[in-house]
Amino acid sequence: MSINGCAPWLAHGKQDQTTLPSPRCLSSPHWCQKWDDGGTPCSDPSDFSPAGARSSYLAKVVCEIGPADKADWGQVEIEVNGGKRGTSSVSFTYRDPMPEEVMPNRGPKAGGTLITISGLFLNAGSKEDVQVTIGGVNCSVEHFGENITCRTGEYRVDKVPSDPLDVVMKYGKRTTKSIPASFRFVENPTVQDHQPKASFVCGGRNIVVTGTRFDVIQTAIMKVQGRDWSSSEFAHEKNATVIQFQSPTVNGSADQHLKTVIKLDNWEKELKPFFYHPDPSFNNLQNKIITANSMIIVTGRGFSKAMTAKEAQAFVGDVQYVVSLLQDDKLFLVTPSSPPRAHSTQVDVKIKFGKGVWVVGSMEFEDKNYSLYMIIRIILLVTLVTITISVYCATRAQLF
């Protein structure tokens, strides 16, 4: 291919200055000195041997385009030593970014708020060109496109809430755009209490955290940390004063040093006290037959260390039973109004504590009403057969 095969990686840039990252040259081989960040110009192929230790293949050219007096567009042209030139196959456009709005317009002092900047031509240049600051605080760019998202750093000034601060976007070396008075840092949230204060290692217990200023938080996580592992759960419900989590699952046993924290964006708080207990153990069921009005008693140990009757769930077959009483070594299950849809059939009995599920045995469901119904049907059938035989015999006797 000829050197005219060069194509720029970007099709547009800023009017007053831009960096055009690496037009990719698809030309015939040109060998050049290994360059530093400044980019040593390519030399004539005869100067270096392809096998030489001092040479490398020219895969791309990095150039910085100067300012333009007005919005303009055109092809990019490059020139290498020896006077050879190449022209891009696509056009390059100068256009200035025009940021207009920031959402959300506030976030906690600790940082971690993901903000979205919207406007026109924000994707001029490249992600590496763009720097965003809020009142001097860096906002790390995470997404570069028609909208730009960045995550706020920590605001180290003592005064909060801050005054409305400018969001400043710097493109390359010369272009600076801002949205005046568009973001404020506010006080970090506070945690006042959490209930309950314990969980089994299987996790999944509902933990309710109360406090203030949770409404400015975007991401709430509960995390348990061991020596070389951690386990996390995102909040499943949140408002300004309450956040609810499921307790994370512990990797291994409860007999290790554990630290339980909640992370609200960048702000972190340890939950004290919070205990993890070994999972409960269950004995196999003794009574293997149940009826529509039977109470089931499940035995074992460790039930009450991190569970209540209101939280526990029990299932017999496809029907959920009510846990009426929970003691440390006993569970009392009350038959619901709709018994399992089975007749003289083995059904599993399952207990659910958070994420932990245990099959504690199987039972045979006996519907006494169903049995009575079957007995009546059999009696009626026998009676009908007897009457039929009697009538037949009487008819035969009359014939003879």
C-alpha 45, offset from chain centre: 53
pLDDT of residue 217: 97
pLDDT of residue 8: 37
Helix (H, G, I), strand (E, B) or coil at 34: coil
Alpha-carbon span 85 to 83, nearest angstrom: 6
pLDDT of residue 35: 34
Alpha-carbon span 189 to 213, nearest angstrom: 5
193-277: which CATH architecture?
Answer: Sandwich (2.60)
pLDDT of residue 43: 38
What is the domain class of 100-186 according to CATH? mainly beta
Q: Where are the domains of the chain?
A: 3-94, 100-186, 193-277, 281-366, 375-400
- DSSP string covering 318-337: TEEEEEEEE-SSEEEEE--S
pLDDT at 307 > cutoff 90 = yes
- Looking up tokens 């169903």 gives 370
pLDDT at 291 > cutoff 90 = no
pLDDT of residue 42: 37
The type of residue at 3 is I
pLDDT: which is higher, 308 or 44:
308
Q: What percent of the chain has pLDDT over 70?
A: 76
Q: Give the mean model confidence (pLDDT) for residues 130-153.
A: 96
CB contact at 8 A, 184 and 106: yes
pLDDT of residue 202: 97
The token pair at 122 is: 């924000």
Helix (H, G, I), strand (E, B) or coil at 231: strand
Q: Give the mean model confidence (pLDDT) for residues 337-362.
A: 81
| Average pLDDT of the chain to the nearest whole number | 81
- Least Cα distance to 317 among 336, 302, 298, 332 occurs for 336
Angle at 137 between CA 144 and CA 15, to 5 degrees: 45
Give residue-wise pLDDT tens across range 28-39: 333 333 333 333
pLDDT at 47 > cutoff 90 = no
CB contact at 8 A, 322 and 294: no
- DSSP string covering 143-189: EESSSEEEEE-----S-SSPPPEEEEEEETTTEEEEEEEEEEEEPPP
Alpha-carbon span 280 to 298, nearest angstrom: 12
**Statement: 281-366 belongs to CATH 2.60.40.10:** yes
- Least Cα distance to 115 among 132, 97, 135, 98 occurs for 132
In sequence order, the β-bridge partners of residue 359 are 350
- Looking up tokens 């958070």 gives 354
Residue 199, C-beta contacts closer than 8 angstroms, at least 6 positions apart = 205, 207, 247, 274, 275, 276, 277, 306, 354
C-alpha 151, offset from chain centre: 17
pLDDT: which is higher, 9 or 255:
255
Give residue-wise pLDDT tens across range 214-264: 999 999 999 999 989 999 999 999 999 999 999 999 998 888 999 999 999
Alpha-carbon span 276 to 197, nearest angstrom: 9
Alpha-carbon span 355 to 361, nearest angstrom: 19
Q: Rounding to the nearest 10 degrees, give the CA dihedral for residues 52, 54, 55, 56.
A: 110
Which segment, 7-21, 210-224, 290-304, is predicted with the most confidence on average?
A: 210-224
Which segment, 234-248, 311-325, 365-379, is predicted with the most confidence on average?
A: 234-248
CATH topology agreement for domains 193-277 and 281-366: yes
CB contact at 8 A, 51 and 130: no
Helix (H, G, I), strand (E, B) or coil at 374: helix
Give residue-wise pLDDT tens across range 110-140: 999 999 999 999 998 889 889 999 999 999 9
pLDDT at 51 > cutoff 60 = no
Alpha-carbon span 307 to 209, nearest angstrom: 17
pLDDT of residue 183: 97
pLDDT at 12 > cutoff 70 = no
